[in-house]
A and B are shown apart, each in its own frame.
Chain A
Amino acid sequence: DAGVIQSPRHEVTEMGQEVTLRCKPISGHDYLFWYRQTMMRGLELLIYFNNNVPIDDSGMPEDRFSAKMPNASFSTLKIQPSEPRDSAVYFCASRKTGQSYEQYFGPGTRLTVT
């Protein structure tokens, strides 16, 4: 089975531009998590969904960030407008109800905002 798929793998953009990160969870998984990883703050949970419904978005840093999950196989994380401090690696992870608590991570998107 394919693992969690994220695109793009690398994104370089200028400050003020809109950025959209994409994630395809593992088929059959009903939880999807978005994380951000930086050297300073480590790995932070931004938002997570269950059955396509956002459950907790308290980690979303500000209104510039938004996330959607229109169906069970696709989610987006959008930053508009982007700022240099948004530069980080963004990970998507998924898990399946009834299985262990472990999460399966994608390869990440490295975002650089200049």
Chain B
Amino acid sequence: SQQGEEDPQALSIQEGENATMNCSYKTSINNLQWYRQNSGRGLVHLILIRSNEREKHSGRLRVTLDTSKKSSSLLITASRAADTASYFCAKNSGAGSYQLTFGKGTKLSVIP
């Protein structure tokens, strides 16, 4: 079954606004990662947050993790047209495994 389900499925915002995407999962995790996929391209790793972390920042990205609610959020601040892409969360359960389980993603459109 799919882990790491994102919502919303699609999000349309104006350039300069903030974009927030959410991800929920069902079982325990070792870490949770966010990836970006531009149309017709492969996925690109954005940020990783470990299960013992609550918040991480990378440039205009901010990721939070709430293990009690089994949820994570990705915030993109001051969005740009170039941020238009699909965003996926991916769960790693650890225990010696490096497998990632992806959700179906949030399609973000940033309107110039």
Contact = CB atoms under 8 A, between A and B. Distances in A.
* Pair from one complex: yes
A95 B98 contact: yes
Contacts of B44: 105
Contact of B42 (A95, A102, A107): A107
Q: Is the interface of A mostly helix, strand, loop or mixed?
A: strand
Interface stretch (B18-26, B66-74, B100-108): B100-108
Interface stretch (A11-19, A41-49, A65-73, A78-86): A41-49
A25 interface: no
Interface in A57-114: 91, 93, 95, 100-108
B2 A106 contact: no
B42 A101 contact: no
B43 A91 contact: yes
A96 to B, nearest CB: 10
Contacts of B41: 107-108
Interface of A: 4, 31, 33, 35, 42-45, 48, 56, 91, 93, 95, 100-108
Interface of B: 2, 30-31, 33, 35, 41-45, 48, 88, 92, 97-105
